[in-house]
Amino acid sequence: MSQLRTAYFLLLVVTFGLASCKNSSEHRVGSEFTVYVQRFQDEATKHGKNLDLINGGLIVEFADLKDGVAGLCHYEKPIRIEIDKTYWAAIEKFADADLMKEDLLFHELGHGFLGRKHLNTLLENGDWKSIMCGGDKVNGRSWNINYHGARRTYYVDELFNESTVAPVYSSLQFVADTTGYNVIYKLNFNTPAKSDAGWEITETTNYSTTITTDGKLKFQSKIAQAYLVSLTTATAISTNFSYELTIESPTGNATDQYGIIYGIIPDGSNGNNSPIEYFNINNGKKMFMGNRTYYSFFTELDESKILPAGKNKLKVFKIGSMIYYFINNTYAYCSEIVTTAGLNKFGFMVPAQGTVLIDDFLINQSKSSNAPAKVIQTQSLQFEITPMGIETQNSVLNQ
């Protein structure tokens, strides 16, 4: 018995000795991560935090993380952070990958050096309140943060000061001026004529388009891919505009996304990820918005205003650099537009093997532009029907 106690004591001594020999000031940061560590250090200094990540102890390295985890912070001496190498490689193929990487590293460094825990509360508009969201799921919601434009400034401020005042954009009080617009495109679907319907009425192996008896355009996908269905306007719109339609998706799963799209004609360099903005909903009362060149949608919102499988009016206003989103005439959200060129594609998205019904297609343009003051409905219109990959359905991994 005494021999066992002696062996146990020696084991403790050896274990303690090994732990004591670990260099708490070791600095080993992979070259892929150094720029983000430096940014965090710069932001810490700007926000009055006395940290030394550049010369002090820190380890940041790649790992093969499991269970949908993008990063882990280990509270060791020194702080050790693991980043999932597969996720890192996946996001760097898309637009604004730099900000997605910064978001991930800032989150983990926030754990390790600011003592921040996960915070899963929301702003008034439904945005996550903090870059520190993560951990246990909240109502199954994704961890996507709209981390660009003005939001990046707010999230960094909040990271270093949890008492940061909620940003102006998070208010659901709509104050922008939406007066002074001309109708320039208006389509009805009372006849199969292309001048009325805009899209060719046809039956193919992969999809069909018909006009319903109550005057709606019906588009049905027959394949396991979603479709982007769009018209090309005669002149690109480069000023303030509004775009709206009503859309129904009476069949399919509650998670199937459908909605409106607008953007520019792709030059072929981006493949399926053409620079198209989108505003989607589903029959589970979720709202998504984003741009096709991004790894994922900007964020996911719970919206009680959505009528599942019913007729939903979706509308966007572009005012300056901002897009304002409306569901059934109620303001829901705003975000910076990504596409900076003139827009000449306007249409909708159809779920894989799903059906949508479209009506009340309308585009208005600011009167301050050279837009004509009458409806253009009888001109020759081009249309495009594009099968869509699933890239924009990605969700940000847990952190």
User: What is the per-residue pLDDT for 184?
Assistant: 87
- Give the end-to-end CA distance of the chain in Å, rounded to a whole number: 47
51 part of a folded domain: yes
For residue 235, give Cα distances in angstroms to 129, 184, 260, 264, 274. Answer: 40, 11, 19, 11, 19
User: What is the per-residue pLDDT for 30?
Assistant: 95
- pLDDT averaged per 10 residues in sequence order, the chain, 399 residues: 39 42 82 97 96 90 95 95 97 93 98 97 97 91 92 97 96 91 87 71 92 93 90 86 96 92 67 76 96 92 96 96 97 93 90 94 82 47 67 76
69 part of a folded domain: yes
User: What is the per-residue pLDDT for 318?
Assistant: 95
12 part of a folded domain: no
For residue 139, give Cα distances in angstroms to 90, 136, 258, 281, 300. Answer: 26, 10, 21, 17, 12
Cβ contacts of 334 within 8 Å, gap of 6 or more:
125, 169, 322, 323, 324, 325
**Domain boundary pick from 151, 170, 189:** 170
User: What is the per-residue pLDDT for 151?
Assistant: 94
Q: Do 116 and 216 belong together in one domain? A: no
340/180 Cα distance (integer angstroms)? 22
- Determine the residue type at 358: I
Q: Do 239 and 130 belong together in one domain? A: no
Q: Do 51 and 98 belong together in one domain? A: yes
Q: Do 96 and 61 belong together in one domain? A: yes
Give the chain's domain count: 2
B/e letters for 15-34, b = 16+ CB within 10 Å, e = fewer, are eeeeeeeeeeeebebeebbe
Closest by Cα among 339, 246, 359 to 293: 339
Q: Do 194 and 95 belong together in one domain? A: no
Sort strands 80-84 and 58-63 into parallel, antiparallel or unpaired.
parallel
Can you give the CATH number for the domain in which 312 is found? 2.60.120.560
Q: Do 237 and 360 belong together in one domain? A: yes
**Domain boundary pick from 132, 151, 170:** 170
Q: Do 374 and 273 belong together in one domain? A: yes
Q: Do 43 and 143 belong together in one domain? A: yes
User: Contact, 334 vs 169, CB < 8 A?
Assistant: yes
396 part of a folded domain: no
**Domain boundary pick from 118, 148, 170:** 170
278 part of a folded domain: yes
Q: Do 204 and 162 belong together in one domain? A: no
Q: Do 148 and 188 belong together in one domain? A: no
207 part of a folded domain: yes
Structure tokens at 368: 């301050």
> Can you tell me whether residue 226 is helix, strand or coil?
strand
30 part of a folded domain: yes
Q: Do 146 and 283 belong together in one domain? A: no
Sort strands 226-237 and 355-366 into parallel, antiparallel or unpaired.
unpaired
Q: Do 115 and 263 belong together in one domain? A: no
* pLDDT tens-digit readout, 178-236: 888 999 888 888 877 766 667 788 899 999 999 999 999 999 999 988 888 888 887 88
Sort strands 58-63 and 27-29 into parallel, antiparallel or unpaired.
parallel
Helix or strand run (H / E) with residue 381: none
User: Contact, 335 vs 144, CB < 8 A?
Assistant: no
* pLDDT tens-digit readout, 78-121: 999 999 999 999 999 999 999 999 999 999 999 999 999 999 99
305 part of a folded domain: yes
Helix or strand run (H / E) with residue 86: helix 85-91
User: Contact, 244 vs 316, CB < 8 A?
Assistant: yes
Domain residues for the domain of 162 are 21-170
User: What is the per-residue pLDDT for 341?
Assistant: 83
